[in-house]
Amino acid sequence: MTTHEEFESLAALDAVGAATADEAAALRSHVEECPACANAQAELAEAATLLARGLDPVQPPPEVRERVLASIGQHVDEDEDDDNVVRPFFNRWWWSAAAMLFLALWGWRELAVRAEREKSVTAEAEARHFSEENALLTERNEKLSAQIAAIAAAGTKTIALTGQAVAPSASARVFLEPEARRAIVFFANMPANASDRSYQLWIIRADQPKPQSAGTFDVTQTGKASITVENLPVATEIKGLAVTLEPKGGVEQPSNTNFYVSGGV
Amino acid sequence: MTMNQTEQSTGLLTAVARGDADAFEALYDRYSSMLYALLLRILGSAEDAQEVLQEAFVKVWTNARMFDEARGSEIAWLISIARSRGIDRLRSRKIRNERENDAGREVSIHVGFTDKSTGADHAIRSEEGTAVRGALAALPEAQRVALELAYFEGFSQSEIAERLGEPLGTIKTRMQLGMKKLRESLRAFQ
């Protein structure tokens, strides 16, 4: 079960286009029914535009402007010379009839153009929806296959993490797949975290004095959770793994040493 | 002067949605230099950036009715269209490698264009630019780099983790913390 805070974290990634298809689809579905998360998503999307607005403006060449205006059917001819315009004589009645005919044709054309635009927008939205659904299913399938393959692979190492003083009955099992630089960690009997807190998994490396975050996760009343760690630094020695409880969304470095589960690799 | 004042809708997009070509022209004059700068940053090629800028504005013309002021500002909607088109072009033409090879290529900046914005507009935007750059400079380097790789280069979380040699969880946390700070900056401006 994904919480509102987790959806907000997903919205942060989505705002810079970094959410996976799976995450983006889950977020889209959630915000349709959750005004608070929809508001957070809108704020984060607005905040992401600061990255673009921090750039120094650059004037595009004038011909781009001409092309843009021409392509929407608005051509401004500033050099028009009224003296060269030949105006044949027609009586007022002809002009009225012509104007009415023109307006009728123009109105009909506008309606047709609008209908085409709407059809095009709907078709585009449908195509995008199916494409996203397809990407979502493909990604889920790949994720499940990867997890099964990781657990079953001959080279996969299994490591047990044990509960510490704050959660003695907690435990975790790590399936470490060195070739894929991936680890899947399944937690059990963990205390459920408060809505403003997240568990954070830390990698303790031999070559670095400080632990490195491997991601955050939440635990519900079932006491169970899992996390997949990609791009593991297998080239260097991993001394151990540990889990702390941190502010929602995680922190750069552990704020305390109350490990819930930990163990050597 | 606060950033919020410039975020208020100019009403131009609403007029464009009604088919007002003059409003469209004014919208182009107001935002094209910012969107062009964004596309140059994404694509690294003036030719590509100009083509995509044109596509983006045509999309603005045809889809203006889909703009909903309640869901975001005018400027954010325009930026999202331009960025999305820019990233699509970056991916479809696979110009990422080409750009790395052409890292030294210069981008020509055109002058002499008649900008129809007012002097007050320039003053506001200049002040806004300073405020925005201040907010970005306040981000820790690691967070800013991760956000920029996603936003301007279109890299996925995994690609960023691979490129920076960091675990995926670290990258996610960095981007989430960075976005949290940017969101706070935006609120402070308001």
Provide the pLDDT confidence category of residue A12 given band limits of 50, 70 and 90. Answer: very high
Specify whether the CB–CB gap between A136 and A25 falls below 8 A. Answer: yes
Q: Residue A161: which of A149, A181, A178, A176 has the closest Cα?
A: A176
For chain A, percent of residues with pLDDT exceeding 90 = 31
Return residues 106-135 of B near A (CB < 8 Å). 107, 109-115, 125, 128-129, 132-133, 135
The count of other CB atoms within 10 Å of the CB of residue B6 is 18
Burial class for B67, CB neighbours closer than 10 Å (0-12, 13-18, 19+)? buried
B166 touching chain A per CB within 8 A? yes
pLDDT at A172 over 90: yes
With bands split at pLDDT 50, 70 and 90, how would you rate the model's confidence at A207? confident
Compare CB distances from B110 to A61, A76, A213 and report the shortest one's residue: A61
Q: What ipTM was estimated for this complex?
A: 0.81
Nearest by CB to residue A46, choosing from B73, B115, B168, is B73
Pairwise pLDDT comparison (B153 vs A249), residue with the higher score: B153
Q: Tell me the average pLDDT across B167-186.
A: 91
Taking the C-alpha atoms of residue A213 and residue A200, their distance in angstroms, rounded to an integer, is: 7
| pLDDT tens digit sequence for B97-156 | 555 555 444 443 333 333 444 555 555 555 667 778 888 888 999 999 999 999 999 999
Residue B136, chain A, CB below 8 Å: the answer is yes
Q: How far is A87 from chain B (nearest CA, A)?
A: 26
At A246 the pLDDT is 93
Does the structure show a pLDDT above 80 at A147? no
Q: What band does B62 get if pLDDT is binned at 50, 70 and 90?
A: very high
**Which of A147-151, A172-176, B19-23, B96-100 comes out lowest in average pLDDT?**
B96-100
Whether A78 shows a pLDDT value over 50: the answer reads no
Q: CB–CB of A13 and B172 under 8 A?
A: yes
pLDDT band at B38; cut points 50, 70, 90: very high
How far apart are the CA of B190 and the nearest CA of chain A, in angstroms?
12
Residue B102 pLDDT: 53
Residues of A in contact with B28 (CB under 8 A): 65, 68-69
- Position A92 scores a pLDDT of 56
Element (H, E) at A225: strand A225-229
Least confident of A32-36, A105-109, A239-243: A105-109
Measured between beta carbons, which residues in chain A are less than 8 angstroms from residue B147?
Answer: 16, 48, 51
CB contacts of A231 in chain B (<8 Å) are 158, 161-162, 165-168
Q: How far is CA B160 from CA A246, B56, B153, B166, B168, in A?
A: 24, 27, 10, 8, 8
Q: CA of B68, closest CA in chain A: separation in Å?
A: 11
Confidence of residue B189 (pLDDT cuts 50, 70, 90): low
> Please, what is the Cα angle at A22 between A21 and A25, to 5 degrees?
80
pLDDT of residue A111: 80
Measured between alpha carbons, how far is A37 from B43 in angstroms, rounded to an integer? 32
Q: Which of A69, A73, A230 sits opposite B168 (nearest CB)?
A: A230
| Contact call for B111 and A59, based on CB within 8 A | yes
Residue to mutate among B183, B186, B190, with most A CBs inside 10 A, is B183
Average the pLDDT over A214-231 and give the result: 86
More confident residue, B34 or B95: B34
Which residue is associated with the tokens 């409880």? Answer: A245
Specify whether the CB–CB gap between B139 and B147 falls below 8 A: yes
Q: Which of A55, A117, A177, A234 to mutate to test the interface with B (most CBs of B within 10 A)?
A: A55
Contact at CB, A50 and B162, closer than 8 angstroms: no
Res. B29: pLDDT tops 90: yes
Of A39-43, A46-50, B10-14, minimum mean pLDDT range: B10-14
Q: What is the pLDDT of residue B87?
A: 93
Other beta carbons within 10 angstroms of residue B105's beta carbon come to 11
The pLDDT value given to residue A189: 93
User: Does the structure show a pLDDT above 70 at B26?
Assistant: yes
Looking at residue B110, its pLDDT comes to 39
Q: Residue A197, SS3? A: strand
Q: Which of B62, B75, B166 sits opposite A231 (nearest CB)?
A: B166
Amino acid at B106: E
CA distance linking residue A219 with residue A193, whole number of Å: 6
Please state, in angstroms and rounded to a whole number, the distance separating the CA atoms of residues A194 and A212: 23
| Rounded Cα gap, residues B142 and B171, in angstroms | 9
The residue of A46, A119, A230 whose CB has the most chain B CBs within 10 angstroms, and thus the best one to mutate to test that interface, is A46
The answer to whether B71 faces chain A, any CB pair under 8 Å, is: yes
B57: closest CA of chain A, how far (Å)? 7
pLDDT for the residue A127: 78
